[in-house]
A and B are shown apart, each in its own frame.
Chain A
Amino acid sequence: MEGYQQKAKGDWLDEALFALPKEIPPPNLKERILQQVTASEQQAGYLLKRYPLSKLFKLSVLAWLLLCLVLLGGLYIYGWYKGVAPASFVVLRFASFLDWLAQVWAYWRDLSSILLSGWQQAFNELQYRFGLHLVTWWTLWKSHMQLIGALVLAGSALALLLTVVLNKLVNRGNGHYA
């Protein structure tokens, strides 16, 4: 046998490594792969697996926006149907919703203060201050509704922009799937 020690003088290792036997894969391997891929397509979770999450996310954001648009449109048409100026109807509806929210909040605040009246003074004080805090916010909200509306819209737009930018950054180079 021509040994490795004799061969070690030359660059025998490269040749020997390249000459290593390559095994033929099992004859049914290709069929197995294709079958598994087909089976995976039929699974319930196929949508999530087949489409990248970022696309699903974009789709859900779009669906959400569409839903908002449809709701607003519905309200607008309903206002027109009722004989009220549609735009002011939408605004009035929104304002009455806020009033309702304020009533609910006041109810629960009062109830809680009654419930808590027997509790320690410190806790009552805390709750009172918390209530004051919210009332202040509500006053501000009512008197600066347009400004706050604009801020909310700008914030939403910024959040959407950030989402898109982050999504691009995360998927850059489509690197680390597996």
Chain B
Amino acid sequence: MMVAAYGVAANKSSSAPTKAYKKVGTLRAVLDTIDFLDPQQAYTGQSWWAMWNVYETLLTYKHVDGPAGYQLVPGLAQSMPKISSNGRVYKFTLRKGLKYSNGKKVQASDFKWAIKRGFLATGQGVGFYTDIAGAKAYAAHPTKGGNISGIVVNNKKRTITVKLTKPRGDFLTILALLFAAPVPSSTSTQILNGKIPGTGPYRFSSFDANRGFTMVRNKYFKPTKYIPRGTPDKIVVSLIGDANSATQRVINGQADYSNAAIPPDRIATVKNKGHLVLRDTANTYYFWMNIREAPFNKLKVRQAVNYAIDRGALNRIVWGGLGRPTQNVLPPTYPSYTKLKLFSHNVAKAKQLINQAGAKNAKVTVWTRDVSDARDAAQYYTSVLNAIGLNAKLNILPRATYYTTIGNVATHAQTGWARWLEDYPHPLDWFDVLLNGNRITNTDNNNYAWYSNAKTDKAIESLKKAQVLTPAVNKRWATVEKQIMQQAPWAPWSNRVFPEFFTKKMGCIHVQRLYGIDALRLCRK
């Protein structure tokens, strides 16, 4: 399996814990932060880690380790959907006897309400659902009584039909996002953290935005082939922002698990005081260069930057080497990944390219957000830009406003730090969202390089239609990736592995590739 477990026998089995292990009882977890515990609002890995055990979607992912964790399986749906030959109509049937944690029956119309609720509450994930027929019109004037014509439901027959305006190869994975988790149609459009009943193995029993939350078993949950009953009776989550404090709690036995990013210098000493698990999740850390703004409107300058970065050194600086140097957009966990070696570290060549581009002493502002790893990476980057002849300065923005600021056309941000962690395992989640010129917007733009190229844009649009990621399709994605990186709108530098820390008393630890530590399959020694 891809996940390397350090200090713990990596569990290669995807089954439930063996008899030699004890029950978990109460799992005491520490998370650094969450944004929301409302399925139509939450958009952080930490929130999704918890909510995946509370809310179910029509389709979901297997609770297994390794690459099989990317496989879509029926969740609330009784089977995989029927898809029309033109790839625009999806038909689902809900499982029989589904109930929310408050005992109410799950209706097919609840799915429709969840999508509508997202638009009504301007949830963070509504952009994923605008290709549903009638969704754009609904988004323009969302009302409770309004209709999204592309979603047809029949509560009696438990059927849900979703019609798209154009085929989307990643639509099944989009439906598996928690944004599309059905909620009772009586649910208000206000943000209701930890108060909305779900259908998963657990339910939220308490929530305090500053301290944490608790999940207890959902007595109405019935396990399926793909969704097991969880091993912990109760999951108590504390929110602690300071990584050292969070780690110390685990060492002291006050917590069983912490996802805090242990400082690189402490990892070596900490690893023997518990189980250190290195979670290999799909992510890419990169520096973007706005191709609309000088001097990055010149290819030679963008190439120079790529040559100048010592990716190995940067990985060592930022997280003590717990990352793989990369020049790719896609992380290596993707089947379409083909390792790119376009730019070897060569400062002299970088300087030469800057001179050839006539960009010597060009003023550059490097943007980053006020988080330890981003600050360190951006300081290195600023120094490198100065070393190759540019005149760079650093601008550090608060974490909360960073992405909206650099994603606003009015900012004219030239270059900066960014990362992308997959929403769902499909190349479209990377190329369409981050590098498709057709999807550039003046505000909340995710394409920070403002990269647009007729050839690659057309290829992305064409690949959207592919329903299955066949080897041929994967090869086409690899070609698109190479074409994009030859234009160098990014300087990718790392696929990070995330250290997760467990108490020594934990017996088996499993990692689901998309959602991380699988709380349902833990056990104690």
The answer to whether A and B assemble together is no
